[in-house]
Amino acid sequence: MSDIIGHFISGKLETAADDRSGPIYNPSTGEEFARCAYGSRATLDRAVAAATEAGRAWALASHATRMGVIFKLRELMVASIDELAEVIGREHGKTIADAKGEIGRAIEGIEFAANEPHVTKGEFSANVGGDIDVFSMRVPVGVVGCITPFNFPIMVPTVMMAMAVGTGNGVVWKPSEKVPTAALIFARLLQEAGLPDGVFNVVQGDKEIVDGILEHPGIAAVSFVGSTRVGEYVYQKGTSHNKRVASFTGGKNHMVVMPDADLEAAASAFVSAGFGSASQRCMAVSLLVPVGEATANALRELVVDKMNALKVGPYNDPQADFGAVISSESKAAVLHAIEECIGAGAELVVDGRGLKVPGHDNGFYVGPTLFDHVTMDMTFYKEEIFGPARGIIRAASLDEAIAITNAHDYGNGAVIFTRDGKSARRFMGEVEAGMIGVNVPVPLPVGYFNFGGLRRSKFGDSHLYGPDAARFYTKYKTVSQRWPDPVQAGGAMSLAFNASA
């Protein structure tokens, strides 16, 4: 009998599955080692009721009380790095080193949430007229639904929920059913940090719970990270139910390399940013865009040498550069994309198909794969490949490289490697991407800057990190007040539209 990974509601673990459950695999071995409980609408109703009731009191808690929990959470997260990294590696397949890097960025999100009293301050104007003072204040939106992806089991949720809790909201979190265990560890840490039971709840599940969150009248706002197809659905359905929705979706990030760039550094950056975590990152570099044939030929040779040195292995192999993809379905999808690109006429330079990891024959592995002479009419250019298959698309000039980058539906990130400030300045100004790197391969900002893409990489006008996240989890109230002299008689009545009367 497999272990059941269940829910966390009102401060208690619920280990019994409802009517349905799904498998949890170790991608490194391909073995099912546990089952994830799939909650029902009734499960969700209980979680929302708990978040609503406990959230009322939590919304009235002082900033000092809330920040005490946030500071303690950071301390506990630091102490739990090894435990979390092991769970993330086992369920996701990423290496322990990569998992620890993810946890470090999660801790950075907690640190920024400690700034909540500052970033949610309101405004005040004294005596706008007739002894009336006007001030604004930010208050919690209510109950927040968080829907998070498999590729960052702890970083993305922590960034969302540290700020959601810090601003005084109740939370219902649906983690990916592929990586559910880190959610229960995080729930335990919040409880140990002193968060009142019921404020934070975890409901495991699949599409039924996603739809429930989007439709539930007790949920005021929804934060989502995942694929573009699902993210657009979440945004449209959630907003149709009058919810505030922030939906962060896919990317097809281009890396332009100019002839004057340090090609050795650019090649290292491309391989690192392109293949880390088996390329299962929305900020991964997908397409290398060298400018000029000489640049392309020299860069390709360097990239191939570095790719051939990569080691693929199980998550707990300290020598592995990256591990397996998340599932057998994901592996099949990557292999299909490779076959399709071969059929479209691209040149297969490095072939990662058929990779075998000794002792792990059933693991979901795909080796690093590289195509050259990719063109814009190919599916390989148009679609996000969530696995270690990358491409080179050659450009004759910076103008063409910018045009190639901007022609794509996605606009998550884009980077340029160059020594020329004018080229970099043009790139920053003309490229339609939410996050831009100049000689930086993964332009993921630090936690106190806003994170979010453009075009079909984001739906809604909010951001995941930074001050804009605090604004997403709060709503404005504006108060106009006057305190008459208690001994003064009332004045004459006027029906004129005049705020100062």
- CA nearest 95: which of 244, 340, 261, 312? 312
Question: For 78-101, b where at least 16 C-beta lie within 10 A, e where not — what string?
Answer: eebeeebbebbbbbbbbbbebbbb
State the alpha helices, DSSP H only, in 283-365: 293-308, 328-344
- Write out the DSSP string of 134-173: EEEEEEE-SEEEEE--SS-TTHHHHHHHHHHHHTT-EEEE
**CA 200 – CA 168 distance, rounded (Å):** 11
- CA distance readout (Å), 424 to 89, 219, 286, 411, 416: 37, 44, 20, 17, 7
**CA 313 – CA 318 distance, rounded (Å):** 9
Please give the structure tokens belonging to residue 479.
């108060």
Please tell me the number of Cα atoms within 13 Å of 261 on its side-chain side.
Answer: 32
Please give the structure tokens belonging to residue 253.
């990030």
Find the angle CA(5)-CA(144)-CA(148) to the nearest 5 degrees: 45
CA 321 to chain centre: 22
Q: Residue 428, SS3?
A: helix
Q: What are phi and psi of 447, to 5 degrees?
A: -65, -15
Neighbours of 497 (CB within 10 A): 6
Active site residues: 282
> Phi-psi bin for 414: left (phi > 0), alpha (psi -120 to 50), beta?
beta
- CA distance readout (Å), 281 to 114, 197, 284, 328: 27, 33, 5, 18
- Is 296:261 a contact under the CB 8 Å cutoff? no
